[in-house]
Chains A and B, each alone.
Chain A
Amino acid sequence: SQTIHQWPATLVQPVGSPLSLECTVEGTSNPNLYWYRQAAGRGLQLLFYSVGIGQISSEVPQNLSASRPQDRQFILSSKKLLLSDSGFYLCAWSGGGGGSQPQHFGDGTRLSIL
């Protein structure tokens, strides 16, 4: 069966520090991968999505970047964190290709910027 792992679960970082959040998927090949951010009590905002290795699409201009160095690995990064980067970050995967396949989410990383 397919599983998705996301870590760390919580993270407290000072303003201006770098960030690296990692997400890996097991049990499937060539998945579509997604990074979302969720503010408290709000919906999910799509940040990045990837349909293959090295293929990253950014949905909103921001202080973050994403990379997909391997088929089932998706990394969210920042060189210098801002206070506004605080939030709940969720990684998700769906079956490869286009269409309307459900997305499956990791447990999320709660990021607090001090």
Chain B
Amino acid sequence: GQSLEQPSEVTAVEGAIVQINCTYQTSGFYGLSWYQQHDGGAPTFLSYNALDGLEETGRFSSFLSRSDSYGYLLLQELQMKDSASYFCASFSGNTGKLIFGQGTTLQVKP
């Protein structure tokens, strides 16, 4: 089976940097994805790591260490609009199916 663990809540101030961690246990790993979901909205794709290392997309970066079964999402220069839930997700085999973590609620304060 597969499971992904991430903190339930994180709080940070505007302009700061925050890291959201994700550890996973999978039987067959095809990479780690990150999604953002604002309250009441649909999840939107942020990033995907298939290989070890850091992927950077603007203010957001995502990191993967396959040997540690660990990844994180790094958000820099936090803005109020970054307040949302963030989900890590792992592909279940080579089928395109995603298994999601329970999500981390990020609250950005002024």
Contact = CB atoms under 8 A, between A and B. Distances in A.
Interface stretch (B13-21, B39-47, B55-63, B69-77): B39-47
Contact of B96 (A59, A90, A97, A104): A97
Contacts of B45: 102-104
Which bucket holds chain A's interface residue count? 20 to 34
Interface in A39-75: 41-46, 49, 51, 59
Contacts of B48: 100, 102
A32 B96 contact: yes
A27 interface: no
B27 interface: no
B103 A108 contact: no
A87 interface: no
A103 B103 CA distance: 17
Interface in A2-43: 32, 34, 41-43
A44 B96 contact: no
Interface residues of B, number: 24
A105 B98 contact: no
Interface string A67-97: 0000000000000000000000010001101
Contacts of A99: 30, 94, 96
Contact of A100 (B31, B44, B103): B31
A99 B41 CA distance: 26
Given A100-B31, A100-B50, A106-B42, A43 B98 contact: no
A98 B96 contact: yes
Interface of A: 32, 34, 41-46, 49, 51, 59, 90, 94-95, 97-108
Given A98-B93, A102-B33, A103-B98, 5 more contacts: A46-B97, A46-B98, A49-B95, A49-B96, A102-B45
6 contacts: A34-B97, A44-B43, A45-B100, A98-B94, A103-B98, A108-B41
